[in-house]
Structure 1
Amino acid sequence: MSPEQIFALIAALTAEPDPEAFATLKAGGADPAYPVTVAPCARPVAPTEIDGKTVICGTIEVPFDHRAPDGPKIDIAFNLYKAHSLSPQPDPVIYLHGGPGDGTVSRVARTIGFFEHLRGRRDIIAIDERGVDSSAPEMDCYTTLGDQLGDVVDARLQGLEMTVLEQDFISECLAELDAKGIDISLINTEQNAMDVPAVMSALGYDSYNIYGISYGTKLTMEILRQDPPGIRAAVIDGNAPPWLPLYSMFWQSHSAPIQLSLAPCERDPVCAEAYPDITARTFALYETLGEAPVDGPNGQIDPGTLWGVIDQRVDVTGSYKAITPYIPLMVTQLEQGDTTIIDQILSGALPPEPATYSAEAARAAALAAGLSNAEMARVEAMLSAAEHIEIAESTVDRAAQELEGSLDADARDTTLAEIFDDRLAAAIRALPDQAARLAVGRDYLDLRFEEPSAARLVTLIETHMTGETAEALSGLAHQLDAAEVTRVFELIRDDNEATVQDVEGALQLYLYACQEDFADGWNSSEKFSRLIAEDGAWGPLMQEAIVDMVASFETACPLFEKHPREDWTSVGSSDRPVLSMNGELDTQTAGVWGELAVQDYSDAQVVMVPESGHGTIRFSQCAKDITAAFIEDPEGALDTSCVEDLRLPVMLPDGTMHPLPY
């Protein structure tokens, strides 16, 4: 942040609320059929946003069944991020998230981070889809969670088979929801699609654009099928068309990245001569290693090791490893029992680390250039200033979040107990992996049965957290008086949200997948086995291993009644402008599904992005620029030439790098 931005931030955080800011929403929204209730945004909002000034959050009441508008209601949670322009375009972009067991409204800063490239001229709206996270608070199975989460956590951490436990958990949760009078048959994509135009009407927009990722593409395609008024254009990124039996084709999400990323080698004469039939040989290598693993200096190289290297070039968090150039030589070596390249990959020596601009590197470069003492003194002054700037920016960010939290607490008369509980929950959600979250979740829930004690809170923190997070939380715990400690333990008994996120996410996914996608044999393990065998890319050993990917659905889905839409699996059509974006390395939704998604769309463009995974805008500025250009002018000629620069070269047997065609 510049000093001017810091001054403006403090002024905005401490100023009286602007009565004109979001006045229509604060007054109940633009459409009385769908009332809006404004609520504080999930913290931390600062330093990237200012609640009530640059972003506003809340809920929109819509019919639980849009065909019975006078019946029960459900609240759809939203964030509305104002465009940066003082003269914005009237058609915003609404983001439809994936999962669907993974909402977005509680992640204020992270969500808009994906869409800043579209925000220059347009508002951005994010929602939690019905039945998911903040759009489903009444659907939390607290009794079931309280009874079974400890067992679920223990089983997962020990790697135990949980088939019966999962069935018990799901069946009891469904019974709990039924006892509340919740008709889960209405938690479906068709009703979800009807929510979107209702949300946009409530927020006051006559025209809008859609950006769907993963399940959000399926939802977008259903909205296009329904064709409500107001849709200007749509981007579908990481496609999951409902007219494909995707759960029975999930193997293709792991074969397509191999085929798509090795196809340029097959097309290039030099590469093809060096590595003939490299795609088929790569698939065959999995079978070879299954029968005879290769011994390397760090252990055996088996199919799982190869899978980890090739399949995990990208992941759903947006991380990326530039392994593709080395795959043909790695495969060739492993066929000969040589582990040189794969050992370098596993050790982190490949791909080479990108050049970094550390103080040490800059100082070494300056010395190597033969600068004089006076010139080196200026270099040292610059490096010192850079270090202070980095420290200052971190301090500003942290202080802004603390100021925002303090002001928010004052405004809501929040006690120190609530602040501690909120920050503890946020810290648990921020832990890097599921096992860590479940481990602290188990101990967190066990505190329900303990006598209130600040020392027990500190033990929990120091057992599972480190660094500044642990220090800040422990310091806050020591500030709690006896009454506040008691209140924290009450909140622990009442609030399981942070500890059950992973379990609830699976349940939310089952609500959609089991009722829609696993109806009438459209998806099944038997169909999975038949389709993967008919395709023939994967050999028998891998076919048997990969089919386990649908095992959890085979366990869960018999517990659900089936409620597919009548023409759910028929190919959709639309005349709206649609941009289909797909990543070559996507292991969640196969890149080849993008063409199939728009096969009957009359105004569609398809872009395949090399070296990109699920949700292309996570991986390159090129993808962001293409989507921004499309939203700006959906009917115009789209320049996609930047994708050609993303194609990586290939390493030839002599160690040289050879460029490949796009």
Structure 2
Amino acid sequence: MTLAPCARPVAPDEIDGQTVICGNVSVPIDHRAPESDRITIAFNLYKAHSLTPEPDPVIYLHGGPGSGTVSHVAKTIGYFEHLRGRRDIIAIDERGVDSSAPEMDCYTTLGAQLAPVVDQKITGNAAPTLQADFINGCLAELDAKGIDYTLINTEQNAMDVPAVLSALGYESYNLYGISYGTKLTMEILRQDPPGIRSAIIDGNAPPWLPLYSMFWQSHSAPIQLSLAPCEGDPVCAEAYPDITARTFALMETLGETPVDGPKGPVDGGMLYEMIDGRVNMKGDYHALTPYIPLMVTQLEQGDTTLFDQITAGELPPKPATADAETLRAAALARGLNGTEMAQVNAMLEAAEHIRIAQGTVERAARLLEGDLDQEARGTDLAEIFDNRLAAAIKAIPDDAARLAVGRDYLDLRFADPSVDGLLTLIEAHLEGSAATDLSALARQLDAAELARVYELIRVDNEATVKQVEGSFQTYLYACQEDFSDGWNSVQKFRDLMAEDGAWGPGMQEALAGYYDQRFIAVCALFDKHPREDWTSVGSTDRPVLAMNGELDTQTAGIWGALAVQDYSDATLVMLPESGHGTIRFSQCAKDITAAFIEAPESDLDTSCVKDLRLPVMLPDGTMHPLPY
């Protein structure tokens, strides 16, 4: 294990090296051959707030796989702060992802395709073969580097986790997987290494389901789950009979014949996007469920009133806010006497002082973090050099020349920091005062400033690579292990969707076409590497909590029951009005997961879930409560 500075800036209330510790753990690229080449797994270790923490930390296993967590110090712990009171929290970038094994970034391929990449960034038009060209080039580049990317798989990934925890000195631990991280957690449970105390799987993706042939269910299940309470309530069912089937049918009808409204036509795709978009991958949430039955009824009748109100942001209504004067007026209206009003004024003034103090503390902390960031980098001159270099490159009028310097700039990503490397870049591509000034600045850089310049180059290049790679890291896993032997295919997608019958033919074709383009065509570029028992149902006797959101459009909420079907000690929780990664959507989800981690063998109180169920708007405009 080696320690390293955390990715900056860290959160204002964290201290690099004390409250959050970052570094890398070296593991075999093939755990079944311990003497094989090594790769590094990057980690962030967030120390518990307690002076006497419990010995078993929580390790977060991220989704994708892709878009790792280590470089997002503040964002990552923001999701898990509720578990940090008594336990350390560990986040890793899984093998082959972002900070873990950065040598897998395909900068040579990117440099060779810089022209279409730049064109896409400027015009928004991607070359038809850009994705396939990049994948083919990247796979060839990895081959040329001698990287056995067939070992970038969930089986090896699962063996990395206990190796990292052992290197950090933990004998017992709790797993917390979200999305692909649930698949990884299930593989770890299948391998059953020593030390697992408990596991939480949130947004379940069990490998024993052909998930890439079932992703249509991630879009039908939120409709079915959120409308089922209306179907089961006498008052709602009378007002909106067969509302679930009617909602699916309406999308098909509007796909063929849109409804004209005062703000324009409403078609099936628009209705689908509105209902499907109640939650998104960013954790945004729109409380539209109460209005869906009435909106569907109106659209069936050619009325777009509710649809237009939602589109305009008028529904759901914004929560009311009250300033101090409004609260004083309300208190006076209640007839409070002079003494009581003095107490009200004192409370309002105290609240204002607290608000100002909190803002002051936060601003001061951010300023301090900024100062520490600059001090750690020691590099005002480095920032100046980087900014001037970027400006000089942008000022080159010739497209071909600009692309040429861009390629050489990318090549510096893996070069050792050196003044000569910068001078070579400048002399090869720049001239005049820009070249003279930048050369002079480069010669003034000390060792720390030079290292910072190359760090900035790395950051710039990583951002560009991420734009082009897209889902390459996901494909490395999915295409090699999930598309073997026809386990997932577009034909299976179509057959399962038709057999289910919820979606009409128009939506079936639209979703199947997207799936075909998004996965089938891409995965055809990869060799397949099936593994024994990968698709067989897993079992475990460890305590497992499966958290599932009714509105989850990435992993259908109903997959949770299928994930734990052979788990002997599993608790299944379905949360209304929650999407992918339930802890992003409610305090209830956080409370349940915290209680489970605290006592995984005890009975779990999930009573707060029923409070998440929203009412339904009846035809007369009143709100009617629904059962959980």
TM-score band by shorter chain is: 0.7 to 0.9
Instruction: Give the Cα separation in 1 of the matches to 2:289 and 2:599.
Output: 34
SS at match of 1:138: helix
Who is 1:642 aligned against?
Answer: 608
Q: Rate the CA distance shift 1:451–1:224 in 2: closer, same or farther, 3 A.
A: closer
Cα deviation, residue 213, structure 1? 0.2
Instruction: Give the Cα separation in 2 of the matches to 1:166 and 1:356.
Output: 48
Q: Rate the CA distance shift 1:191–1:491 in 2: closer, same or farther, 3 A.
A: closer
CA-to-partner distance for each residue in 1:245-278, whole Å, 9 max, x for gaps? 1111000000000000000000000000000000
Instruction: Give the Cα separation in 2 of the matches to 1:406 and 1:611.
Output: 42
SS at match of 2:309: helix
Task: Choose which of 566, 577, 599 in structure 2 pairs with 1:600.
Answer: 566
Instruction: Give the Cα separation in 2 of the matches to 1:397 and 1:93.
Output: 27
Q: Rate the CA distance shift 1:451–1:140 in 2: closer, same or farther, 3 A.
A: closer
The one-letter code matched in structure 1 to 2:441 is A
Determine whether 1:402 maps to 2:399.
no
Task: Verify the 8 A CA contact 1:238 1:586 in the aligned structure 2.
Answer: yes
The one-letter code matched in structure 1 to 2:97 is V
Task: Verify the 8 A CA contact 1:585 1:611 in the aligned structure 2.
Answer: yes
Who is 1:238 aligned against?
Answer: 203
Instruction: Give the Cα separation in 2 of the matches to 1:212 and 1:611.
Output: 20
CA-to-partner distance for each residue in 1:8-56, whole Å, 9 max, x for gaps? xxxxxxxxxxxxxxxxxxxxxxxxxxxx010000111141211111110
Q: Rate the CA distance shift 1:51–1:420 in 2: closer, same or farther, 3 A.
A: farther
Instruction: Give the Cα separation in 1 of the matches to 2:366 and 2:332.
Output: 36
Who is 1:193 aligned against?
Answer: 158
Who is 2:14 aligned against?
Answer: 49
Determine whether 1:483 maps to 2:438.
no
Q: Rate the CA distance shift 1:402–1:634 in 2: closer, same or farther, 3 A.
A: same
Who is 2:482 aligned against?
Answer: 517
Who is 1:123 aligned against?
Answer: 88
Q: Rate the CA distance shift 1:148–1:357 in 2: closer, same or farther, 3 A.
A: farther
Instruction: Give the Cα separation in 1 of the matches to 2:548 and 2:81.
Output: 20
Determine whether 1:305 maps to 2:305.
no
The one-letter code matched in structure 2 to 1:395 is R
Instruction: Give the Cα separation in 2 of the matches to 1:280 and 1:623.
Output: 30
The one-letter code matched in structure 2 to 1:275 is Y
Q: Rate the CA distance shift 1:245–1:348 in 2: closer, same or farther, 3 A.
A: same
Determine whether 1:563 maps to 2:521.
no
Cα deviation, residue 187, structure 1? 0.3
Instruction: Give the Cα separation in 1 of the matches to 2:155 and 2:501.
Output: 35
Q: Rate the CA distance shift 1:603–1:335 in 2: closer, same or farther, 3 A.
A: same
CA-to-partner distance for each residue in 1:212-231, whole Å, 9 max, x for gaps? 00000000000001011110
Task: Choose which of 219, 233, 257 in structure 2 pairs with 1:268.
Answer: 233
Structure 2: give runs of 5+ residues left out of the alignment. 391-398, 410-436
CA-to-partner distance for each residue in 1:353-393, whole Å, 9 max, x for gaps? 01224467557656867899996987996686466436424
Cα deviation, residue 143, structure 1? 1.1
The one-letter code matched in structure 1 to 2:577 is E
Instruction: Give the Cα separation in 2 of the matches to 1:534 and 1:419.
Output: 62
Q: Which moved more, 1:184-193 or 1:372-381?
A: 372-381
Q: Rate the CA distance shift 1:364–1:503 in 2: closer, same or farther, 3 A.
A: farther
Determine whether 1:287 maps to 2:247.
no
Task: Verify the 8 A CA contact 1:95 1:127 in the aligned structure 2.
Answer: yes
Instruction: Give the Cα separation in 1 of the matches to 2:170 and 2:350.
Output: 49
SS at match of 1:210: strand
Task: Verify the 8 A CA contact 1:363 1:379 in the aligned structure 2.
Answer: no
CA-to-partner distance for each residue in 1:427-474, whole Å, 9 max, x for gaps? xxxxxxxxxxxxxxx99x86945999xxxxxxxxxxxxxxxxxxxxxx
Instruction: Give the Cα separation in 2 of the matches to 1:358 and 1:522.
Output: 59
Number of corresponding residues? 582
Task: Verify the 8 A CA contact 1:421 1:491 in the aligned structure 2.
Answer: no
Instruction: Give the Cα separation in 2 of the matches to 1:179 and 1:418.
Output: 34
Who is 1:58 aligned against?
Answer: 23
Task: Choose which of 381, 386, 389 in structure 1 pairs with 2:357.
Answer: 389
Q: Which moved more, 1:540-549 or 1:253-262?
A: 540-549
Instruction: Give the Cα separation in 2 of the matches to 1:380 and 1:580.
Output: 43
RMSD: 3.1
Instruction: Give the Cα separation in 2 of the matches to 1:110 and 1:491.
Output: 21
Q: Which moved more, 1:296-305 or 1:346-355?
A: 296-305
Task: Verify the 8 A CA contact 1:46 1:404 in the aligned structure 2.
Answer: no
Task: Verify the 8 A CA contact 1:194 1:223 in the aligned structure 2.
Answer: yes
The one-letter code matched in structure 1 to 2:308 is D
Q: Rate the CA distance shift 1:281–1:67 in 2: closer, same or farther, 3 A.
A: same
Who is 1:296 aligned against?
Answer: 261
Cα deviation, residue 418, structure 1? 4.9
Cα deviation, residue 342, structure 1? 0.8
SS at match of 1:580: strand
Task: Verify the 8 A CA contact 1:448 1:489 in the aligned structure 2.
Answer: no
Q: Which moved more, 1:128-137 or 1:157-166?
A: 157-166
Determine whether 1:579 maps to 2:538.
no
What is the TM-score normalised by the length of structure 2?
0.86
SS at match of 2:160: helix
Task: Choose which of 143, 168, 184 in structure 1 pairs with 2:108.
Answer: 143
Q: Pairwise mapping of residues 2-401 of structure 1 onto structure 2 (< 5 A)? A: 36-152=1-117, 154-155=119-120, 158=123, 160=125, 162-358=127-323, 361-362=326-327, 365=330, 385=353, 388-389=356-357, 391-401=359-369
Cα deviation, residue 325, structure 1? 0.3
Who is 1:657 aligned against?
Answer: 623
Who is 2:427 aligned against?
Answer: none
The one-letter code matched in structure 2 to 1:63 is P
Instruction: Give the Cα separation in 2 of the matches to 1:149 and 1:621.
Output: 45
Task: Verify the 8 A CA contact 2:560 2:572 in the aligned structure 1.
Answer: yes
Q: Rate the CA distance shift 1:182–1:359 in 2: closer, same or farther, 3 A.
A: farther
Cα deviation, residue 116, structure 1? 0.9
Q: Rate the CA distance shift 1:243–1:384 in 2: closer, same or farther, 3 A.
A: closer
The one-letter code matched in structure 2 to 1:572 is G
SS at match of 1:265: helix
Instruction: Give the Cα separation in 2 of the matches to 1:448 and 1:610.
Output: 52
Cα deviation, residue 577, structure 1? 0.7
Instruction: Give the Cα separation in 1 of the matches to 2:601 and 2:592.
Output: 13
Q: Rate the CA distance shift 1:451–1:236 in 2: closer, same or farther, 3 A.
A: closer
Q: Pairwise mapping of residues 435-474 of structure 1 onto structure 2 (< 5 A)? A: 448=405
Q: Rate the CA distance shift 1:576–1:50 in 2: closer, same or farther, 3 A.
A: same
Instruction: Give the Cα separation in 2 of the matches to 1:499 and 1:217.
Output: 29
The one-letter code matched in structure 2 to 1:399 is L
CA-to-partner distance for each residue in 1:557-592, whole Å, 9 max, x for gaps? 111111121211111111111000000000000000
Instruction: Give the Cα separation in 2 of the matches to 1:421 and 1:263.
Output: 57
Q: Rate the CA distance shift 1:421–1:371 in 2: closer, same or farther, 3 A.
A: farther
Instruction: Give the Cα separation in 2 of the matches to 1:284 and 1:309.
Output: 16
The one-letter code matched in structure 2 to 1:607 is V
Instruction: Give the Cα separation in 2 of the matches to 1:43 and 1:493.
Output: 15
Who is 2:432 aligned against?
Answer: none
SS at match of 2:22: strand
Cα deviation, residue 505, structure 1? 4.5
Task: Verify the 8 A CA contact 2:12 2:362 in the aligned structure 1.
Answer: no
Cα deviation, residue 398, structure 1? 2.5
The one-letter code matched in structure 2 to 1:406 is Q
Q: Rate the CA distance shift 1:491–1:207 in 2: closer, same or farther, 3 A.
A: closer
Q: Rate the CA distance shift 1:289–1:490 in 2: closer, same or farther, 3 A.
A: same
Cα deviation, residue 400, structure 1? 2.2
Instruction: Give the Cα separation in 2 of the matches to 1:105 and 1:78.
Output: 6
Identity %: 71
Instruction: Give the Cα separation in 2 of the matches to 1:323 and 1:259.
Output: 15
CA-to-partner distance for each residue in 1:101-124, whole Å, 9 max, x for gaps? 110011111111111111111111
